[in-house]
Structure 1
Amino acid sequence: MADLLKGLNPTVQALLATLLSVDIMTTSSKHNNHNGNRSDLPLSWRHRMGLSILGGALLLLSFPFFNLWPLIWIGLVPLLIAIQGVKPRRALLLGWICGAIYVSGMTYWILPLYPYANFPIVLLATLLLTGYLAFYVAGFSWIVRRLNLRSAPAYIFIPAVLWTALELLRGWLFTGLPWGSLGHSQYRFLPIAQIASITGLGGISFLIVSVNAALARLILNLRRWREEIRYILIPFALFLICLSYGIWKLERPLPPKGKIEIALIPGNVPQREKMYGDPRVTFRRYLENLDEVTYERPDLIVFPETFVLMDLLRPGRRGYIEMLQNRLREGGSWLLFGIPHYETKGDRGDYNAAVLLSPDRVVGKYYKQHLVPFSEYTPLRRYLPKSIKAKVVGVADFNKGRESVVLTLPNGARFGVVICFESVFPYIFREFVRKGVDFMGIITNDAWFEGTSAPYQHYAMAPFRAIETGKAVFRCANKGVTCVIGPNGRVISGVVKPDENGIIIAEVPLYPGITFYMRFGEWFPLTCLIALLAYMALSYFMKRAQRR
């Protein structure tokens, strides 16, 4: 080992030796045992299983419905203790059990889809998705044990780097599913949430895991706490720095360059009524709500995603558009609404569309870009047999939008809108912000999951999109949470919940500029991924050198 590091600067030698838990003066592994590899807590397998279950439960309770968000700061401690000293394959099992409990709170609400789909298929999809997401926690546990982190700095920060990198991959692989990342649990803890404007959500997850690892390290090494404390305090110092920054940012909001008035009409129509009822009845319901707000003369009125299951832009349905425009002329307002739309040009397919309508014309259309697999499109459909392909057309066969269309109001205010599942992905918001929008919007139909925690979990991501972009974000959700969120993540309007009937009229502030995160994107998780790969490679080569 000394030969391997001989040519390096002494300071670099010392740093590598500390992180990799090797003694550069000798190749013997006997001297490594005192570096925190032993545990002060001998545990039976039954106790380890119990800790794994406890960890999963703590993580689950940190998210909506329960919203016990402080638990996330200790939620991984039981798992880290449980996997200490076990073989990697056992750590894999313990991690999967913990992960399955954790993510079950984010997948169980798929089951209520069975009235609209075959129950065995819905059940299978729920189990497969739960198993898949749980493997990220299993992989985390397996890698932590494979690396056999001995030194305090490595034990505290490498798991944080690893978890952040895995969340990045989870948000990208198989079209991506970042739903329920650790950082989302902190949507109510706004001082800590503010660092998302710099690091994105990954910075919050990194901080959470590092604090958990520090606590686990302290518990595992209680007899040697004096030796460990200087390293264990580092994550808590980082926490205080982030907290101080967040408090400072919340107390010094930037002045907006202007404002618009908006009316949000969620409707809160049950999904069964939307699917199997007369769409003309649903249309009249929204028309009556429109009559209630036109006299207020808001700049923009918003209906949710697919407020009626009809393509109102088809020539044969021109009468519906005229009814809407007649109401809009009374106050000069413009209307944004979601519908399924059949484009007669181009690739000739159905789109999940958002339409901006003025009293005189259709001003613009945005087509949803990030579709939900198996719900809005069938992956690899072109390779399916014709008999199966015919059955999925019109059921799960939307076309993907290709452009982030910026919409402009008569007063010059520019905005973008995303549809439903797209609000989970920061990269879509980044594209709009780079095009110079003044505010953002989300329209969604959460009625599929009425009575579950899904609408609240979906909402929990919106404050982060506001913080990341530095823009106000309105949210109009059928059977979801409807409100306006300021650029610091605070709700700045009234709130209409899934089980309430109501209309929100509020001011939306317009903010110029661009945040650090919007400018540089996922720089922090990517840095974590590169650092992790470099650490693993360096560790591998050093262990090989030790064996010689």
Structure 2
Amino acid sequence: MSALAVRAKRLALQLLGAAGTAGLVWLFGSLEARWVAVTWVCLVPWLLVLDRVDSRREAVLSGVVMGLVFTAAIFGWFPEALRSYSGAPLTLCWLALLALAPFMELQFITFALTRYHLRRTTREDPRAFWRVTLAGALVYVGTEWVSPKLFAETLGHGFIASESLRQGADIAGAHGLTLVLVIVNTCVLEAGRVLVAHGVREGSRRALAPVAMGAALVLACFGYGQFRYRQMAALESPTQQLTVGVVQANITKYEKLAAEMGTYDVVRMILDTHYRLSAELLQNRKLDLLIWPETVYPTTFGTPKSDAGAEFDAEIREFVSRAEVPLLFGTYDLEQEREYNAAMFLGPGRNGTLERSAYRKTMLFPLTEWVPELIDSQWLRERLPWTGYWKRGPGPQTMALQLGGGRAITVAPLICYESIFPSYVAEEARRGAELIITLSNDSWFSGTPAPKLHLMHAAFRSIETRLPQVRVTNSGISALISSTGEVLAEVPDDHRASLAVTIPLTPRVSTLMVAWGDWLSPTALVLSAVLLLAPSLLARRKAREATQ
């Protein structure tokens, strides 16, 4: 067989292994409970072929292939969404996604290199399996922390469909679940390899260590999850509740509507729709708070740019006064010619007046909402016409909302993209938040898996901080999420509806994620470096001592 044929055969084998793993990840990526068990074996097909590589170059190739196949399988919907948003050709959108895949999924490359290196250099070490397994898992998680991610994805997100397993996220976030997943997968592979090589009788004895390790981790996750779930349920009190109104009007593509109807008529339609849906809620029950989604009022509030804007501002204030309900809504906030994407609160003040406060979005999506000043130029904006002009807010903040009847609540406000950052939300929780409120606009991804993925991220933020959450979007998915990550009520994607939700408030519960933020990922990076470098450094030191 020629050298070219050999290389083609080995590449085909790598593609087959990567496709097997990507297919299993795609199954539990549906976030359905029936596929959760797949997580424990999802990496096995790729690991089988990865362990057959015979050079660093081939290990890198295996990681690159896995990253490409993984990206195409899990984010195959993204190029079409990007084409719809930017107007770029679909082929170009696909090429951009695949070109970035090795960088976005860099963990597959570093994991492959680590596993190849340690399996080759520790063959005679009786602790080789433990070192290879632990170092590989730490490298995987640590690399994810430094890799640019499309949706901050990690394999541990697949546990969201399990009531018990997802509770472990309050210790080390979704990356902690990924660490467990990678270790258990390598244990499954090792146990299977030993059984095949030595038969059931002898192999069972040799496989005892990896089986025990994998089983202990799985049982520990289930046990901890059940403990936390019951603990949080016991803390809920029927006397400590908040009734919140959620409005999802399903009005999308403001720019296109403005071009067809005119800006004034579009704003008029948006506000009238939200007034009507809000009035329907208020007819049936009294609300402590009413929430409209991100950028629902698509101009600056409080600093109008026109007479029509001043009229709309006054109209919103009049609505809040007349309805006697505090309102939190998405708009723009202007200060010294700097414009911010903001969450604006209008609530009861002294002497019957309305008090106003605002939260300004900090984590802006690069090259759409915000362009770094270092690269901002007319040349760039001419080629990327969708780039935004918003400025970054001051960082994690809480808002003290004055409600009716003298009640007050401290909330952790988030706008859209901010909900995917664990440390950001943890900082708001440390500042005394009792409830997370997320305003979002996912309309560009309507009809794709993105709204469901965004909801999943939101659920993890509630688990990590043990705070309930109200998530309000313009086109879906709006939801009430409990402190255990359960979606208690929702308005689906591409639906128009108003919804009143009763939020069960609980006493604050301490978690490692609130105390330390996303602590595992940088720790994993440091520990993996120690595991990889310490043996060679110790060997060199012993060699120097022996020659002295």
Sort the TM-score into its range (normalised by shorter chain): 0.7 to 0.9
Match of 1:179 among 152, 158, 173: 152
- Please give the secondary structure, in 2, of the residue aligned with 1:404: coil
Match of 1:400 among 378, 392, 402: 392
Match of 1:368 among 351, 361, 369: 361
Distance 1:391 1:279 in 2: 29
Cα deviation, residue 240, structure 1:
0.1
Find the counterpart in structure 2 of residue 79 from structure 1.
Answer: 46
> Are 2:298 and 1:309 equivalent residues in the alignment?
yes
Q: Aligned in 2, Cα 1:129/1:44: closer, same or farther, shift over 3 Å? A: closer
Cα deviation, residue 154, structure 1:
2.0
Distance 1:202 1:250 in 2: 20
Contact 2:475 2:496 in 1 (8 A): no
Cα deviation, residue 218, structure 1:
1.8
TM-score, length-scaled by structure 2: 0.84
Letter in 2 for 1:500: H
- Please give the secondary structure, in 2, of the residue aligned with 1:471: coil
> Are 2:472 and 1:476 equivalent residues in the alignment?
yes
> Are 2:315 and 1:344 equivalent residues in the alignment?
no
Find the counterpart in structure 2 of residue 127 from structure 1.
Answer: 98
Match of 1:318 among 310, 318, 333: 310
Contact 1:470 1:488 in 2 (8 A): yes
List per-residue Cα deviations over 1:406-444 (Å, max 9, x = no partner).
222321211021111110001111121111011111111
> Are 2:505 and 1:505 equivalent residues in the alignment?
no
List per-residue Cα deviations over 1:100-121 (Å, max 9, x = no partner).
2223323632432324424146
Cα deviation, residue 547, structure 1:
9.4
Distance 1:110 1:350 in 2: 30
Find the counterpart in structure 2 of residue 263 from structure 1.
Answer: 245
Q: Aligned in 2, Cα 1:202/1:131: closer, same or farther, shift over 3 Å? A: closer
Find the counterpart in structure 1 of residue 207 from structure 2.
Answer: 228
Match of 2:109 among 133, 138, 142: 138
Find the counterpart in structure 2 of residue 69 from structure 1.
Answer: 36
Letter in 2 for 1:292: E
> Are 2:318 and 1:332 equivalent residues in the alignment?
no
- Please give the secondary structure, in 1, of the residue aligned with 2:408: coil
Distance 2:107 2:419 in 1: 22
Cα deviation, residue 388, structure 1:
3.7
Letter in 1 for 2:398: V
Letter in 2 for 1:505: A
Find the counterpart in structure 2 of residue 444 from structure 1.
Answer: 440
- Please give the secondary structure, in 2, of the residue aligned with 1:353: strand
Distance 1:62 1:243 in 2: 18
Letter in 2 for 1:72: T
List per-residue Cα deviations over 1:231-279 (Å, max 9, x = no partner).
3321221210120111122123242472211011121223366564523
> Are 2:346 and 1:357 equivalent residues in the alignment?
yes
Find the counterpart in structure 2 of residue 279 from structure 1.
Answer: 267
> Are 2:56 and 1:91 equivalent residues in the alignment?
no
Distance 1:94 1:266 in 2: 45
Find the counterpart in structure 2 of residue 55 from structure 1.
Answer: 21
Find the counterpart in structure 2 of residue 28 from structure 1.
Answer: none
Across the aligned residues of Structure 1 and Structure 2, the Cα RMSD in angstroms comes to 2.7
Find the counterpart in structure 2 of residue 294 from structure 1.
Answer: 282
Cα deviation, residue 527, structure 1:
2.9
Distance 1:209 1:90 in 2: 21
Cα deviation, residue 389, structure 1:
5.5
Unaligned residue ranges in structure 1 (runs of 5+): 1-42
Find the counterpart in structure 2 of residue 153 from structure 1.
Answer: 130
Contact 1:417 1:440 in 2 (8 A): yes
Distance 1:312 1:541 in 2: 61
Distance 2:18 2:384 in 1: 41
Q: Structure 1 stretch 245-254 or stretch 104-113: which is displaced more?
A: 104-113
Letter in 2 for 1:96: V
List per-residue Cα deviations over 1:139-172 (Å, max 9, x = no partner).
22122212226422123322222222122223xx
- Please give the secondary structure, in 2, of the residue aligned with 1:505: strand
Find the counterpart in structure 2 of residue 378 from structure 1.
Answer: 371
Contact 1:197 1:469 in 2 (8 A): yes
Cα deviation, residue 399, structure 1:
0.5
List per-residue Cα deviations over 1:9-61 (Å, max 9, x = no partner).
xxxxxxxxxxxxxxxxxxxxxxxxxxxxxxxxxx9653343112211222233
Letter in 2 for 1:195: G
Q: Aligned in 2, Cα 1:197/1:387: closer, same or farther, shift over 3 Å? A: closer
Find the counterpart in structure 2 of residue 117 from structure 1.
Answer: 86
List per-residue Cα deviations over 1:349-398 (Å, max 9, x = no partner).
2211111112643521111111111111123x434555445776983221
- Please give the secondary structure, in 1, of the residue aligned with 2:440: strand
Distance 1:400 1:265 in 2: 26
Distance 1:546 1:310 in 2: 69
TM-score, length-scaled by structure 1: 0.84
Q: Aligned in 2, Cα 1:218/1:424: closer, same or farther, shift over 3 Å? A: same
Q: Aligned in 2, Cα 1:469/1:378: closer, same or farther, shift over 3 Å? A: same
Q: Structure 1 stretch 364-373 or stretch 99-108: which is displaced more?
A: 99-108
Cα deviation, residue 331, structure 1:
3.9
Contact 2:416 2:438 in 1 (8 A): yes
Distance 2:297 2:65 in 1: 42
> Are 2:170 and 1:197 equivalent residues in the alignment?
yes
> Are 2:421 and 1:425 equivalent residues in the alignment?
yes
Letter in 2 for 1:69: V
Cα deviation, residue 290, structure 1:
1.7
Distance 1:364 1:442 in 2: 16
- Please give the secondary structure, in 2, of the residue aligned with 1:369: coil
Cα deviation, residue 97, structure 1:
1.8
Letter in 1 for 2:391: N
> Are 2:481 and 1:496 equivalent residues in the alignment?
no
Match of 2:69 among 83, 97, 101: 101
Find the counterpart in structure 1 of residue 3 from structure 2.
Answer: none
Q: Aligned in 2, Cα 1:57/1:154: closer, same or farther, shift over 3 Å? A: same
Contact 1:266 1:304 in 2 (8 A): yes
Distance 2:76 2:370 in 1: 19
> Are 2:219 and 1:252 equivalent residues in the alignment?
no
List per-residue Cα deviations over 1:431-461 (Å, max 9, x = no partner).
2111101111111111101111111111111
Letter in 2 for 1:297: K
Contact 1:152 1:232 in 2 (8 A): no
Cα deviation, residue 491, structure 1:
2.0
- Please give the secondary structure, in 2, of the residue aligned with 1:265: strand
Contact 1:496 1:502 in 2 (8 A): yes
Q: Which structure carries more helix by proportion?
A: 2
Contact 1:60 1:103 in 2 (8 A): no
Distance 1:191 1:327 in 2: 44
Distance 2:153 2:258 in 1: 28
Distance 1:539 1:134 in 2: 28
Contact 2:191 2:210 in 1 (8 A): no
Unaligned residue ranges in structure 2 (runs of 5+): 1-8
Q: Structure 1 stretch 365-374 or stretch 515-524: which is displaced more?
A: 515-524
Distance 1:386 1:502 in 2: 41
Find the counterpart in structure 1 of residue 516 from structure 2.
Answer: 520
Letter in 2 for 1:73: W
